[in-house]
Structure 1
Amino acid sequence: MMLKSKAVDFMHSMSCAEIQERVRVIKTDTVYKYMKKLEKIGLVEKGAKVDRAYGYILTKEGINLLPEVKEEKEEC
């Protein structure tokens, strides 16, 4: 979901609230806890501030663990 949203550079980071909104399964504070764990092992890092909190982006290591996202072809 972060890769599909192109959250891979500083200015395209996603906040925990944005992640929670897309997942719709867990609470925002739970997303924050998971993101801190992922940050600790080097799969995500802090990006730009989003409102009052930092956003998160995928690191190269995190991207390499994910399956490739295929570009959707536009149908005419």
Structure 2
Amino acid sequence: MTNIPAHEIERLLHHMPSVAIHAKNPWIKSFAQSVTKQARRKGWQPSPKQLSIMRGLVSDLFAYGCDEGGDIQLIE
């Protein structure tokens, strides 16, 4: 496995609770919760497959938004 920058793993892990909260698919919810729990172990690194899934889930989180409407409210 190639070296994954620690800041990327931290960024992905930061968003996993949001992924779990907003997941409509039980497998995705379970995966996000499981990865968050595993990350508490000292020296834990995601497998290449886990990393790929995490990247996709976080990307989807931002692509589709967290709320149902998907509208962005601007502050004036």
User: TM-score with structure 2 length normalisation?
Assistant: 0.27
Which structure exhibits the higher relative contact order, with contacts defined as CA atoms closer than 8 Å and separated by 6 or more residues?
A: 1
Structure in which a larger fraction of residues adopt strand = 1
User: TM-score with structure 1 length normalisation?
Assistant: 0.27
Structure in which a larger fraction of residues adopt helix = 2
